[in-house]
């Protein structure tokens, strides 16, 4: 709901979560899903909209290439691939394999990140040649 004052100016917004929190207090459980899910010691399923600092912390990375050009994991994938990614596109960097698992229209929903056993000597990119 939008709150409007006597001058027809918007002064606030109330969401259903605000109402439920007021009525039920601490009983309301957040519906947000975790953006980073560690599957095992060497693999993570990460939401494409996860901020880069969170990704770097989870993967224990200190830097990513061209880091000033993006803010999310989806942005990293787009910059590295130099195009809009398709499902199964892969970027290998810094001992990690980043594979696009799910794309909704042009938005990357999920990326599977796997730590490689032996880090590669350089970066390489695998692009899915079939159309999604």
Q: What is the pLDDT of residue 25?
A: 67
Pair 85, 119 in one domain: yes
Pair 86, 25 in one domain: no
Pair 45, 20 in one domain: no
Q: Residue 46 — pLDDT band, cuts 50, 70, 90? A: very high
Pair 24, 47 in one domain: no
More reliable by pLDDT, 16 or 101? 101
Q: Give how many domains the chain has, as a whole number.
A: 2
Q: What is the pLDDT of residue 100?
A: 96
Pair 1, 42 in one domain: no
Instruction: Annotate the chain with DSSP letters as a single string.
Output: -EEE-TTS-EEEE--HHHHHHHHHGGGPPP-PPPSEEEEETTEEEEETT-BHHHHHHHHT-S--TTGGG-SBHHHHHHHHHTS---TT-EEEETTEEEEEEEEETTEEEEEEEEE-SS--SS-EEE---S--
The arithmetic mean of pLDDT across residues 7-23, rounded, is 79
Residue span of the structural domain in which 107 resides: 36-126
Q: Residue 51 — pLDDT band, cuts 50, 70, 90? A: very high
> Mean pLDDT for the chain?
83
- Give 25-44 pLDDT, tens digit per residue: 655 555 456 888 988 989 99
Whether pLDDT at 119 is above 60: no
Pair 55, 115 in one domain: yes
Pair 42, 10 in one domain: no
């Amino acid at each position: 709901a939008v709150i409007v004052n006597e001058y027809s100016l918007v002064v606030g917004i109330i969401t259903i979560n605000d109402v439920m929190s007021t009525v039920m207090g601490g009983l309301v459980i957040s519906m947000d899903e975790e953006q980073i899910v560690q599957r095992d010691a060497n693999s993570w399923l990460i939401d494409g909209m996860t901020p880069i600092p969170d990704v770097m912390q989870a993967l224990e990375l200190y830097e990513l290439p061209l880091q000033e050009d993006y803010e999310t994991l989806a942005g990293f994938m787009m910059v590295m691939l130099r195009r809009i990614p398709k499902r199964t596109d892969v970027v290998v960097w810094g001992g990690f394999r980043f594979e696009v698992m799910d794309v909704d229209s042009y938005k990357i929903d999920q990326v599977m990140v796997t730590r490689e056993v032996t880090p590669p000597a350089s970066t390489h990119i695998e692009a899915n040649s079939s159309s999604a």
